[in-house]
Structure 1
Amino acid sequence: MEQHLEQIREQQRASWNKFSPGWKKWDTLMMSFMRPTGDEIIQRLHLKPTDVVLDVASGTGEPGLTIAEKLTAGGRVVSIDIAEDMLAVARENAARRGLRNFETQVADVCELPFPDASFDAISCRFGFMFFPDMQLAANEMARVLRPGGRLATAVWAGPEQNFWVTASMGIINQHLQLPPPPPGAPGMFRCAQPDFIANMFRQAGLQHVAEIPVPTALPAGSAAGYWEIMTDVAAPVAGALSQATPEQRAAIERDIMTLMQQRYPSGEVTIPAGTLVIAGEK
């Protein structure tokens, strides 16, 4: 891999390891938030009870944990991520659920350590937008997929459908005037363009490619809950706030709280979100 891509990978590894305590803290809520996309991924994989499944960019374990529950003792899930601290949470979750057919491995999707045609199905929820070389990642997943096997992924739809992110980042930018990221840099909406991932799947040799919009909602509970969630698990928010003075941070928090209270005057903050699930067959 080229040096600048390796640098991106190492930055991603450090970031996800750093935020693993926040993801562990909010795991139940965040997995509820993302469950509709995981359910759609699983439906699109057409799983058989004895399948061997690769879950890429697994983080704290989903949808690989739910897939493992659907398989028999003859099937298993290999859950990979570049962040060991996130996988440690996944192993805790697997042990809590009594899963014996779920294993984790630190691995880079752009350099998968598996022979050709190793897996019956591959899942990848909210990973593509962070991969240094997305086409290489798609090619590698297609390489380790068996003929007839299926690959399904989820990415965020556009910013206009994801106020849960743009609310915070919009106010942060008002206060900090952050420079825009370089074109093509990893980010939440990097894969939001229709057919963006679908065309990568086709270029990787997959067929019968479909793209399905899947709505969900962030159950933040309250304005204060929303602020706490975003500062604990949202790397772009926390990264931007790390550049703020204490006075700026206080002003940003005040303005975000005010915006949430105006948008949700009942006090119950549940924010709609938009995702895309893309699936294809080898």
Structure 2
Amino acid sequence: MGTQAEEIREQQRMTWNKFSPGWKKWDEFTMNFLKPMGDAIIKNLELKDHDQVLDVAAGTGEPGLTIAGLIPNGKVIGTDLAEDMVTIAAENAEMKGLSNYEILTTDVCELPFEEDTFDAISCRMGFMFFPDMMLAARQMYRVLKAGGKLSTSVWDGPQHNDWITTIMSVIQRHVALPSPQPGAPGMFRCAEPDLIGDLFKKVGFRSIVSQEVRGKVDYQSFDRYWEIMLDMGGPIVTALSGVDKTTIAKIKAEVAELFKSKNKEGESTLEYAALVISAVK
């Protein structure tokens, strides 16, 4: 990788490590939120009991932990760039009594495995943050066995993801945020319908299938939504870092009003949508 990609990688590592306490705090909530995407990935992988599985961008462990439970005679290796995140994954594996789950801190663009090592690869919400998506896909292709399956998920466009745009749209009205560079890592970088599929095709994958997963996430209350977003949202915290208390209070009030407008009386839900793309080597 070039110097710029290495700088992005280090920034990503530092950010995820910094917010790992928030991810640990809200792990049960977040894993329930992301479970439909993980379930779709698992279904597409068509796992067998003795499979060797690589879970890339494992974070706090899912869907790798669920996969490990489904293949007791197989093995799952969860990899992530942020060592503090996979430490949480290891703790979760121990709590679940999973002896066939291991963690490894490594960069997806430099996977330390031999060719044709894994029967399946899962990657939930990782591609949009990789500094070099093509290199990442090539590495996954290299370590996957012939006939092996890869399944990944990425966020659909912002118009379908109220859970993040509800707060970010208000912040953008009050804070001058730098415009993201085209193709730079970010939540909606992979939202174009054929972007990941075309990438996989260029690398050599076949039988590429894309599906959409939509739903609503229940925050139970606005205050809980606000707390979760500030505990876990690196871009949100960064955007608000230099903002005075009066402006933050105004932003919170406007976000609360917008949140309320998207819900019926007594509800606290916001919409999400993701794309799940699967392929065969």
TM-score category of the 2 structures, normalised to the smaller one: over 0.9
Equivalences for residues 148-167 of structure 1 within 5 A:
148-167=147-166
Aligned-residue sequence identity (percent) comes to 51
Q: 1:19 matched to which residue of 2?
A: 19
Q: 1:181 matched to which residue of 2?
A: 180
Q: How many residues align?
A: 281
Q: Deviations over 1:47-69 (max 9, x none)?
A: 10000000000000000000000
- The question of 1:122 aligning with 2:131 is answered no
Matches of 1:50 and 1:194, distance apart in 2: 33
Q: Which amino acid aligns with 2:2?
A: E
Moved more, 217-226 or 64-73: 217-226
- SS of the residue 1:268 aligns to: coil
Q: Deviations over 1:87-145 (max 9, x none)?
A: 11101110110000000000100111111111000000000000000011001000000
- SS of the residue 2:219 aligns to: strand
Task: Report the alpha carbon displacement of residue 271 of structure 1 after superposing the two structures with TM.
Answer: 1.1
- The question of 1:54 aligning with 2:54 is answered yes
* Equivalent residues of 1:34, 1:216 under 8 A apart: no
Matches of 2:215 and 2:132, distance apart in 1: 28
* Equivalent residues of 1:29, 1:219 under 8 A apart: no
- SS of the residue 2:77 aligns to: strand
* Equivalent residues of 2:262, 2:270 under 8 A apart: no
Matches of 2:84 and 2:64, distance apart in 1: 17
Q: 2:33 matched to which residue of 1?
A: 33
Q: Which amino acid aligns with 1:42?
A: I
- SS of the residue 1:138 aligns to: helix
Matches of 2:154 and 2:167, distance apart in 1: 19
- SS of the residue 1:221 aligns to: coil
Matches of 1:10 and 1:64, distance apart in 2: 24
Segments of structure 1 that go 5 or more residues without pairing to the other structure are: none
Q: Which amino acid aligns with 2:158?
A: P
Q: Which amino acid aligns with 1:46?
A: E
Q: Which amino acid aligns with 1:67?
A: I
* Equivalent residues of 2:81, 2:107 under 8 A apart: yes
Q: Deviations over 1:186-239 (max 9, x none)?
A: 111000001100011111110000001011322211111111111111222122
Matches of 1:177 and 1:189, distance apart in 2: 19
Segments of structure 2 that go 5 or more residues without pairing to the other structure are: none
* Equivalent residues of 2:16, 2:85 under 8 A apart: yes
Q: 2:191 matched to which residue of 1?
A: 192
Moved more, 153-162 or 234-243: 234-243
Q: 2:249 matched to which residue of 1?
A: 250
Q: Deviations over 1:64-89 (max 9, x none)?
A: 0000000023x000000010111111
Equivalences for residues 234-273 of structure 1 within 5 A:
234-273=233-272
- The question of 1:207 aligning with 2:206 is answered yes
Task: Report the alpha carbon displacement of residue 265 of structure 1 after superposing the two structures with TM.
Answer: 4.4
Please, what TM-score do these two structures have when normalized by structure 1? Answer: 0.98
Q: Kindly report the root-mean-square deviation, in angstroms, between the aligned alpha carbons of the 2 structures.
A: 0.9
* Equivalent residues of 2:114, 2:143 under 8 A apart: yes
Matches of 2:253 and 2:121, distance apart in 1: 43
- SS of the residue 2:223 aligns to: helix
Matches of 1:262 and 1:197, distance apart in 2: 34
